[in-house]
Amino acid sequence: MRKLITVILLLGSLGLWAQESQLEMNSADRLMDIRDQKLIIGGYGQIDYNQPLIKDQSNNGTLDVHRLVLLFGYNFTEKLQLFTEIELEHVKEVYVEQAFLNYKFNNYFQVKGGLMLIPMGIINELHEPTVYFGVERPLLDKKIVPTTWREIGLGIHGNIQEISLKYQLYMVNGFLGYDDQAKFRGSDGFRKGRQKGAESIASSPNLSAKIDYYGIPRLKLGLATYLGKSQSNLFDGLPDNDPQLQQQADSSIVDIAMFGVDATYRIEGIQLRGQLVFVNNGNVDQYNDFGGSDLGQQMFGYYAEAGYNVFKTTKFKSELIPFVRYEFINTHHETVGFEPNKSFETQLITSGLNWKINSGVVLKIDYQWIKTAAQSKYDHAFNAGLGFVF
């Protein structure tokens, strides 16, 4: 609780220095803002080098075309648009990251339907490599908010400029928690439960909502929630009059209540960001007993980061940003029926440089200190990468 209060105070304090409004756009918003042409094409990608540095142990580094994403949008009319993202991961895996239709009645009220990103935190929506610090995305956005987390659904969104408020409200499909085996684990949280829009199982609808407030100059504050149940294949063909099978199916789902708060602040060359996510899972004792898993009843994580563009007061048009980020996550923040695994409580410090040659190209290097509660000393890693967006 002390850590939670500290981070909330940190996020709130960012607004005390504010001077100018800031509302960032993701790739979908950026392309959908183009109204003067029918077909819109864009994309982004990143190539990474990761080198673990563990004392008294040698490890190979890895070089990876981590992702290459092609974006296609189409304006059927001034109000009706299609947006898609086709992603190639690690050269060999192909996914549809987004595919939705959007109808814009006006700036205040729009309807969206299809495969879309869940608005939780910062990175899940703003995940292009030129946007975030460091080569790798934060741990919080890998395990608890498993970026890029997307679901098929329908909902509304809009921007009420008079009160500096952007809102999103969607009814969506959920994580696949059970598919002949339990998918959720303490080691990687919800990550294995992403359905990615590929023949997704739908046994229960979920609610996703977020509001972003940008009325304080130079500051954006976000508040998000995700409420519902995980999906299970045991409800398919389930007889109405078989209480034993019904009990098994009920034991294969998890009630999920996720809450997130985030803040982004900029002034001159200073950039500050912070994010906190708390998850309370229900029915975990039955789920773990039935599926032989170790999902925590509560998961918790946060990070805070700061960067400064040292070229801000020079004639250079590029940005050179040294940064530092502190992260904490615990997928066993609270458990039921067993002791928390200390190796799932992780601290990670990342420090490095982002050199944005221009708005579309970035070169990155960073060094990481990694330690779990089961360790007495930090492990280390070096990362380098390049990213682009167009």
Query: Burial code of 347-357, b = ≥16 C-beta within 10 A, e = fewer?
Result: bbebbbbbbbe
For 235-315, where are the E strands, in sequence order?
Answer: 255-267, 270-282, 298-308
pLDDT digit string, tens, across residues 141-164: 999 999 999 999 999 999 999 999
Segments in 263-375 forming alpha helices (H): 284-291
pLDDT digit string, tens, across residues 194-240: 999 999 999 999 999 999 999 999 999 999 999 999 999 999 999 98
**Domain formed by 2-389, architecture:** Beta Barrel (2.40)
Question: How high does pLDDT run on average in the chain?
Answer: 92
pLDDT at 307 over 60: yes
The DSSP letter of residue 201 is -
Contact 32/102 with Cβ under 8 angstroms?
yes
pLDDT at 13 over 70: no
At residue 28 the predicted structure's pLDDT band, cuts being 50, 70 and 90, is: confident
Cis check: omega of the bond before 84, within 30 degrees of 0? no
Q: Where do we find the tokens 């939670």?
A: 4
Distance of CA 385 to the CA centre of its chain: 20
Distance of CA 180 to the CA centre of its chain: 27
Q: Would you state the pLDDT for residue 23?
A: 58
Per the confidence metrics, is the pTM higher than 0.85? yes
pLDDT above 70 coverage of the chain, percent = 94
* Tokens standing for residue 223: 């508040």
What are the residue ranges spanned by the domains of the chain?
2-389
At residue 36 the predicted structure's pLDDT band, cuts being 50, 70 and 90, is: confident
Distance of CA 363 to the CA centre of its chain: 22
pLDDT at 12 over 70: no
